[in-house]
């Protein structure tokens, strides 16, 4: 049995796998953001880094975590209704914002360290 026959008989198998991979990727970004927040608090509380920069770093990482959790809640709701499609705009946009805020937080963290 080749791949096309499997897709024709079980079309949701690949959608389910794509949803699980997307959830794993989002969890990785949540972990990076929480680690960035912990590093920022631990390293810069007693440092001479600007207070505004400190709070902007925490805000960027916090928003990354927020959008990641928003995605996880949305995908869990959809999986509960037997809908594994992750290619709709309402699913993709929180992930895009999550990655952008994580990258912005890492950028700000590099500025603070240098």
Residue-range definition of the domain harbouring residue 102: 3-113
pLDDT tens figures, 1-30: 555 665 566 667 778 888 889 999 999 999
* Rounded distance between C-alpha atoms, residue 6 and residue 50, angstroms: 57
User: Is residue 79 exposed (0-12), middle (13-18) or buried (19+ Cβ within 10 Å)?
Assistant: middle
The two most distant CA atoms of the chain are separated, in Å, by 64
Model pTM score: 0.85
- Tally of domains within the chain: 1
Q: How many CB atoms lie within 10 A of CB 20?
A: 14
For residue 14, give every residue at least 6 positions away whose Cβ sits within 8 Å of its Cβ, in sequence order, or none: 7
DSSP-based three-state secondary structure for 113: helix
pLDDT tens-digit profile of 34-58? Answer: 999 999 998 887 777 788 999 999 9
């Amino acid at each position: 049995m080749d791949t096309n026959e499997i897709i024709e008989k079980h079309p949701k198998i690949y959608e389910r796998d794509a949803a699980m991979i997307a959830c794993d990727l989002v969890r990785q970004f949540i972990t990076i953001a929480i680690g960035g927040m912990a590093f920022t608090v631990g390293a810069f509380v007693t440092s001479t880094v600007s207070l505004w920069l400190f709070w902007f770093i925490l805000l960027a990482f916090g928003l990354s975590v927020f959008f990641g959790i928003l995605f996880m809640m949305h995908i869990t709701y959809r999986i509960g209704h037997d809908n594994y499609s992750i290619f709709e705009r309402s699913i993709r946009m929180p992930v895009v914002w999550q990655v952008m805020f994580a990258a912005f937080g890492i950028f700000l963290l590099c500025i603070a360290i240098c």
